[in-house]
Amino acid sequence: MQRALRLAATPGVPLGPNPRVGCVLLDGSGAVVAEGLHRGAGTPHAEVAALREAGEAAAGATAVVTLEPCNHTGRTGPCVDALLAAGVRRVVFAQPDPNPVAAGGERRLREAGVEVAFGLLEREARRLNRAWTFALEHHRPFVTWKLATTLDGRSAAADGTSRWISSRPARLDTHRLRGECDVMMVGTGTVEVDDPRLTVRDEVDAPLPHQPLRAVVGMRELAPDRQVLGDDAETVLLRTRDPHEALRALHERGRRHVFLEGGPTLAAAFLGAGVVDEVVAYVAPQLLGAGLAAVGDLGVTTMADAVRLHVDDVTVLGSGAETNVRLTMRPLPAPGTPAKETP
């Protein structure tokens, strides 16, 4: 199963509506017969890829899979059918499929006489597909809000300049995180003022082959020369100010992880709507004393009502003048409200 998880985590696989899945086929002695992984929407699922490599050797084998084999026909056929047709004797999977459309594989396999076990390294499998799992269980994309701020909470100086609050190591780290999402989101104000490309680029500023969807939220009309409207990635304009409506539209498009890089107004709207699931803050050891705040008005008038965050990780990036501290956090529920389950 650990090998199957490593296969599932293979770099370069485009993200989107489907999870990362790995599969290892074992013979009766426990030796590896074949391996497979899912390489993106429309390509063979991990089980099918492994079965094709194994050929007739799949008969009587054990399939070790990171996710419950699917039981529906989408762009490809059901993995359950492929496993049964190949004569697989036993299936061990880590995580039950939270997708009601695809679930039911375990039951069908058992009914067909296949021995089934599950739950092995389930926590690790859920962590691998944390955004996909969250989206299927909560019916909306997982939202990571990223911000870069000075030590006194400013995202830009009084004259509007913000280069560079984030250091080069922080910017490279940001592109790494962008590449783990399938949506880059900003508001129309950010597009007009900053004119970002919103693409994922490597260490020499070259765009990667697979780009997230660029989503621009708001009612303002955009100038046609804005970079986000270029052909280097797909862009969708979400004509709404309602975070729930924006996320619903993205979920219907099969998008599972939003990387929110908008300005203080959009950030405040998503925080106020309770749909920020993770916060990644790059804090620069600088003081401005005035300038644009990193987040807009949250309606907080007393310390008891502050939005509180749990710190999961603190990492120092760079050194000297090129230093940022990255804090990875998750919002804590307000007193008296149930905690939100996050993979």
Out of 47, 106, 261, 278, the active site residue is: 47
Residue in the block written with tokens 């104000």: 189
Distance CA 153, CA 170 (A): 17
Q: Please list, residue by residue across 301-335, b when 16 or more beta carbons sit within 10 angstroms of its beta carbon and e when fewer do.
A: eeeeeebebeeeeeeebbeeeebbbbbbbbbeeee
- Write the CB contacts of 39 (distance below 8 Å, at least 6 apart in sequence): 13, 49
Report H helices in the chain.
2-8, 46-54, 79-86, 105-111, 122-128, 130-138, 168-178, 188-194, 243-252, 264-272
DSSP count for the chain of H helices, then E strands:
10, 15
115 is catalytic: no
State the first-to-last Cα distance of the chain, in angstroms, to the nearest integer. 19
Distance CA 208, CA 14 (A): 11
What residues are labeled active site? Answer: 47
